[in-house]
Structure 1
């Protein structure tokens, strides 16, 4: 015999409850009146397996028709010529994720072989011996009726909870109000986490919440590209045992704080097992909702609860986006000198929780060039950059202003709290984009709101020239620009190119390696103020070799060792070449 069965997702049930949310456990099935004379002869370890459907075995090679979570009924007739391979039959049916096998021996199969019983015990596949007078139609009708009743009750319960939550949302309730109502209706501890694992809201018994937070400590942040489809419940397995996930799902670390065995076939059976539901809307995963202590009958409700939570979060995001845009408009007016008198700026900024009346520094962060992205991805990138800088600034200055501008982020930070390298490092840690970095420019201190437009111009110039000087990821203060600040004021780049070409001649290009080498020699000579011995030491040249190179440079460029003006021009030309993108 050979099986050809697909894998199944774990049955939808809370760990350790013994009662499935949909369907009946094998133990419950054995308690029905129509199976009063049935006996469990092997596989007692699988009594909590879930029966969601029934099937009748009519042929030995039944594997193509077996579905997960089935109770398979059979007489001995299909097995009468296969008694020697019944142990293998049990293994193949278990591989098909069959819930249990019920056999009515007697006329065609006198007894179930020991090999079959031993295999069922080893695999935990319940093997039930039916009495000779058992009618398959009675079993089918009674078991299916109970399953449908339970599903109908679960659907009604879901509708009840859904109506209660929607009413809260329609009355203006937020995420905390929804979470409170969920905890009350389900009698469980509930917490909602964002995509980075930060708690957005929590409610329920404090002891349960403490256990839930401890268990979630080992849960990795949700990855947008790994988000499961809506309606899929992830179970966090007990600590110390391998996680069991649907086929194709990425394995995740077990969560600490849970004890108990795991069957390795579906969710774990720990008494403290908790459920995690993805919060998904419009194909975007906003985070997760974790629940501990939910009853078996209510596990099916969690998917509908997650939908309402997603609705609330998307509404909050929409409101936040409008507020952020309004704050950005105001800050842009301040930084462009169109916001009016200082008193008005200070008063208005206070309504946003900002303090623009103190000495402050303007910081501008702009994404560096990276792989091309679509419009939606660029907006997501911009939002992530704003979030990263908001988080970094809040740690050092609770009243600092942060807003997203076109193509970047602007922050106005108290002068005594502005450690630009540390801010950029903290923001980069939150931003965490493998394909893109950002460069940062820092202004001088603005003593009053009227000075902020000038400070903003300084920060913009610092970030753009700093990137040209030092490459992507640069953090540059305006005062560090020196002569580059003046060169950046020249808007006609063609004029700069012409100046470099006229001054350096054939040393201006990068195609000739000898020209590049001579240009490096010239640069070090100018940096050492024509100190031949120091230049030879830095370049690891013999003194006579360097003298020869100086002669060659003067033949190409002119007598720069004697002409101070020529040395100035050469220095400026080399600075222009250092400015990337010019």
Structure 2
């Protein structure tokens, strides 16, 4: 077999192997020797130039320039025997040449170095003698400026020996790494198959890496941790200051991805040493297993959440059985309904046409409400229904519910920035009273939204007559009642009409106390007497007719309601 036929076969084999391992690898910078970690989290295997120079066939080779680039990774080897080689080189190649293509153009070697560097070539190894007596000074200076390793090969070493030995070292190294990571992968998968979770995976990693391991979700909340307290604190502090994936000496951050979505990260800290390919490969495999664990947990949580929501819906509908059965069943969920409670309903104020946005907002609202309620009452029942979040909360000491709910509402709005109306029921002493309490909280949401607009907190006890008015389904009838009762005062077209309506409202609120009304409105007593006379000419003798007073009061309350 001729040398060039052998050469072509070796290069093809090498490229097919390395392409398999680096298919998804991307360009990264400021990464220590031995490996790079692509933005996708996939390792790019290979040998740094410094280790390539340590193989026996290159024992007599000399580094002529570009010492700063000894950490560049070699994944492929190629031979330069054509002048226009730049069109054929690939990143991370070690390029070998006798200088034959440029034998008559030594000045072009400086430009060659710049071109190879731009294309990501790892290093250039030149065998002088037959076609090139020495490397030009300009070429050496350019290599030093760019940190591009320029190697002078021994005259008595053949290219085929270099190709064979370096390729063998790369393949052996990668095979060992893959074997080790595959072994660890099987061990981690076995943990999951045996019923272990993310904590057990992190415990195993901490032992394998002899360091600290943290698993965080996509909101940077801690999922599990393993290692000494000191190392964990060190890793946690470092993560707060650095949010980039990749390898950073003795620290590495690998993304956990499943279904095309980021589920979080696994971070490791190995004090006292730089992480190797094997260790980072282990962490990558662990991230895959962690994605499996998280996906399984999410699936189980979704089923459990639906089951809990269905049962709570049955409780609030009064079809879950007697009180003892309800209390016992809820205790299995960690809910305590054997105590005085109140029902809270939080309903989003969204555009009804935005179905996709509504679904996402509902999920965020449910998660935020659950967290807020759990921080205050760990045994409260919380569930997400189709268009609302429902919580059955223990009655706080002293019965002051409004302040407690107000704190939760502010917390949820701060975290998620959502706008929603919250209804609060009357206290329910036992589970049999929960259907009525749920109905009260739902009415409080609807009426509160009509009275005050979106984003308000509406206790059922504060609704008063509005509860009755909200039951009138025929809003046209309400409009007609307002027009018939208030006449010209029913609209805001005339500014004087709105002013007179305000005077009427305060009069009725003070039970026709003229002096108190004048004080509140800052009117002279005679001015108010004049206004009362004008109102009676427009509306009738309401100061003497209690039935007319009632009608006027109702009409003014209807005007305060929105959405009718």
TM-score per shorter chain, which class? 0.7 to 0.9
- Which aligned pairs between 1:332-371 and structure 2 lie closer than 5 A? 332-370=313-351
Confirm or deny: 8 A CA contact 1:101 1:126 kept in the other structure: yes
Q: Establish whether residue 426 from structure 1 lines up as the match of residue 401 from structure 2.
A: no
TM-superposed CA distance for 1:29, in Å, is: 0.6
TM-superposed CA distance for 1:83, in Å, is: 4.7
Confirm or deny: 8 A CA contact 2:489 2:498 kept in the other structure: no
TM-superposed CA distance for 1:318, in Å, is: 1.8
TM-superposed CA distance for 1:536, in Å, is: 10
C-alpha separation between the residues in 1 aligned to 2:519 and 2:103? 96
Superposed CA deviations along residues 372-396 of structure 1, whole A, max 9, x for unmatched, are 5556x65554333222112111211
Confirm or deny: 8 A CA contact 1:8 1:97 kept in the other structure: no
Q: Which residue of 2 aligns with 1:305?
A: 286
1:191 alignment partner, one of 214, 220, 227:
214
Seen in structure 2, the aligned counterparts of structure 1 residues 74 and 330 have a Cα distance that, compared at 3 Å, is: same
TM-superposed CA distance for 1:461, in Å, is: 1.2
Confirm or deny: 8 A CA contact 1:532 1:543 kept in the other structure: yes
Q: Which residue of 1 aligns with 2:506?
A: 528
**Gap regions ≥5 residues in structure 2:** 1-23, 37-42
Seen in structure 2, the aligned counterparts of structure 1 residues 74 and 495 have a Cα distance that, compared at 3 Å, is: farther
Superposed CA deviations along residues 411-430 of structure 1, whole A, max 9, x for unmatched, are 11122164111011222334
C-alpha separation between the residues in 2 aligned to 1:551 and 1:384? 56
Confirm or deny: 8 A CA contact 1:11 1:50 kept in the other structure: no
TM-superposed CA distance for 1:507, in Å, is: 6.3
C-alpha separation between the residues in 2 aligned to 1:471 and 1:309? 45
TM-score scaled by length of structure 1: 0.78
TM-superposed CA distance for 1:132, in Å, is: 3.4
SS at match of 1:217: helix
- Which aligned pairs between 1:498-537 and structure 2 lie closer than 5 A? 498-504=480-486, 514-515=493-494, 517-518=495-496, 520-529=498-507
Seen in structure 2, the aligned counterparts of structure 1 residues 567 and 148 have a Cα distance that, compared at 3 Å, is: farther
Seen in structure 2, the aligned counterparts of structure 1 residues 104 and 503 have a Cα distance that, compared at 3 Å, is: farther
- Which aligned pairs between 1:382-531 and structure 2 lie closer than 5 A? 382-416=362-396, 418=401, 419-430=404-415, 432=416, 436-504=418-486, 514-515=493-494, 517-518=495-496, 520-529=498-507
Larger deviation, residues 459-468 vs 475-484:
475-484
Confirm or deny: 8 A CA contact 2:422 2:457 kept in the other structure: yes
Seen in structure 2, the aligned counterparts of structure 1 residues 181 and 544 have a Cα distance that, compared at 3 Å, is: same
Confirm or deny: 8 A CA contact 2:81 2:97 kept in the other structure: yes
Q: Establish whether residue 116 from structure 1 lines up as the match of residue 139 from structure 2.
A: yes
Higher relative contact order at CA 8 Å, sep ≥6: structure 1 or structure 2? Answer: 1
Confirm or deny: 8 A CA contact 1:76 1:106 kept in the other structure: no
TM-superposed CA distance for 1:27, in Å, is: 0.7
Confirm or deny: 8 A CA contact 1:441 1:462 kept in the other structure: yes
TM-superposed CA distance for 1:31, in Å, is: 0.7
C-alpha separation between the residues in 2 aligned to 1:61 and 1:541? 97
TM-superposed CA distance for 1:25, in Å, is: 0.8
Greater helix content: 2
TM-superposed CA distance for 1:518, in Å, is: 4.8
TM-score scaled by length of structure 2: 0.80
SS at match of 1:441: strand
Q: Which residue of 2 aligns with 1:292?
A: 269
TM-superposed CA distance for 1:85, in Å, is: 5.8
C-alpha separation between the residues in 1 aligned to 2:198 and 2:334? 22
SS at match of 1:215: helix
Superposed CA deviations along residues 345-397 of structure 1, whole A, max 9, x for unmatched, are 3333222222212222211111221475556x655543332221121112111
Seen in structure 2, the aligned counterparts of structure 1 residues 505 and 41 have a Cα distance that, compared at 3 Å, is: farther
Seen in structure 2, the aligned counterparts of structure 1 residues 39 and 17 have a Cα distance that, compared at 3 Å, is: closer
Seen in structure 2, the aligned counterparts of structure 1 residues 278 and 566 have a Cα distance that, compared at 3 Å, is: farther
Superposed CA deviations along residues 261-309 of structure 1, whole A, max 9, x for unmatched, are xxxxxx55xx43x222222222232221112235322323433322221
**Gap regions ≥5 residues in structure 1:** 1-6, 221-232, 236-266
Superposed CA deviations along residues 418-464 of structure 1, whole A, max 9, x for unmatched, are 4111011222334x15xx42221112222333332222222111122
1:9 alignment partner, one of 23, 26, 48:
26
Q: Which residue of 1 aligns with 2:310?
A: 329
Please provide the CA RMSD for this pair. 3.7
Superposed CA deviations along residues 238-257 of structure 1, whole A, max 9, x for unmatched, are xxxxxxxxxxxxxxxxxxxx
SS at match of 2:426: strand
C-alpha separation between the residues in 1 aligned to 2:233 and 2:407? 33
Larger deviation, residues 417-426 vs 488-497:
488-497
C-alpha separation between the residues in 1 aligned to 2:108 and 2:501? 86
Seen in structure 2, the aligned counterparts of structure 1 residues 72 and 466 have a Cα distance that, compared at 3 Å, is: farther
C-alpha separation between the residues in 2 aligned to 1:538 and 1:75? 102
SS at match of 1:307: helix
Confirm or deny: 8 A CA contact 2:380 2:392 kept in the other structure: yes
Which structure has the larger Rg over C-alpha atoms? 2
Confirm or deny: 8 A CA contact 2:34 2:46 kept in the other structure: no
C-alpha separation between the residues in 1 aligned to 2:299 and 2:344? 27
| Residues matched between the structures, number | 521
Seen in structure 2, the aligned counterparts of structure 1 residues 17 and 86 have a Cα distance that, compared at 3 Å, is: closer
Confirm or deny: 8 A CA contact 2:350 2:358 kept in the other structure: no
C-alpha separation between the residues in 1 aligned to 2:423 and 2:301? 27
1:93 alignment partner, one of 116, 119, 133:
116
2:148 alignment partner, one of 115, 122, 125:
125
